[in-house]
A and B are shown apart, each in its own frame.
Chain A
Amino acid sequence: MSKQNRTKLFLDISTFVGFLIVMDPRASGLAVHEWLAVALVGALIVHLLLNWNWIAELTKRIFTKGLNGSRTNYILNWLLFIDGILIMLSGVMISEAVIPAFGLTLPVNMTWRGLHDISANLSLILMGLHLTLHWNWIVSTTKRLFGRNEAERPVTALAIEGKEVQA
């Protein structure tokens, strides 16, 4: 298995576990919730960088005919990205740990609280769909990591019409 796929898998699993912890502030506590969310922004940027070729390729070909599956995936990823930005922005605006740690105070606006809750709930649905669309890659890469599959072959996350394209 290629080093990049291994890195992707470990990063994605770690990010997902972090996401689950962040989504439960009552169990983790508000400080962990906020600081871990900040760390997840870094993980998200690395996730995007590792999948940059797929993003760039699909952005160029998004209006090409016969890309229905990939187009759905692409649109879903954008929705997840936009939702993530809204979660972070609204989280910063109602922050009780991170922003005060920098000696800053922001005026309380109840709209941000509502937006934070809605966008967080929406992210669960979008994340569920994101995982579903990449489930084959997750399973095949995990199997290859533990040597339970056929001969090694690098797999990219580039999926066209629901079929993964071998690099």
Chain B
Amino acid sequence: MSILYRILVILVVATLIGGLFYAAVGSGDSTSRLPAPADGQPRPEGGEEREGESALPLGMVKSLVIMSIASGVYLGLGRLGRQKTLSA
């Protein structure tokens, strides 16, 4: 029962946050709205055309590199902060 309650809490919080985003975007610029594409027609932003562009999972490598950089910056700043505290 408590698990169901916890799942419900997660879903309610997610719905509220999602609703806020939806309202914010929906109340914005309506000129960017386009009609839904007919069946079989690609959407203007691309999608299927980009599929299979690269046989190598370079995107995964790129993701790992970005995460490593974020991690390195965080650790570097943390170390710098500790050094300043010690020297003060």
Residues from 99 to 136 in A contacting B, C-beta threshold 8 Å: 105-113, 115, 121, 124-129, 131-132
Which of A26, A49, A127, A132 is the one whose CB lies under 8 Å from B59?
A26
Complex Cα gap A127–B52 (Å): 26
**Interface class of chain B by DSSP:** helix
**Size range of the chain A interface in the assembly:** 35 or more
Contacts of A108 in B (CB 8 A): 33-37, 43-45
Interface size on B, residues (CB 8 A): 45
Confirm or deny: A151 has a beta carbon within 8 angstroms of a beta carbon on chain B.
Answer: no
Instruction: Check if A23 sits within 8 Å of B59, measured CB to CB.
Output: yes
Beyond the given pairs A129-B70, A132-B70, 10 more chain A to chain B contacts, judged by CB atoms under 8 angstroms and listed by A's residue number, are A24-B62, A26-B51, A26-B53, A81-B17, A107-B33, A115-B25, A124-B63, A125-B70, A126-B70, A131-B67
In the complex, the 10 A-B pairs of residues with the closest C-beta atoms, listed nearest first: A24-B59, A128-B70, A128-B67, A132-B71, A105-B36, A108-B34, A27-B57, A125-B70, A124-B66, A110-B32
* Residue on A nearest B59 in the bound complex, by CB: A24
Residues of B with C-beta under 8 A to A121: 66
Instruction: Identify the interface centre among B48, B52, B59: most chain A CB within 10 Å of its CB.
Output: B59
Return chain B residues, CB-CB under 8 Å to A126. 70
**Pair B69/A25 contact, Cβ less than 8 Å:** no
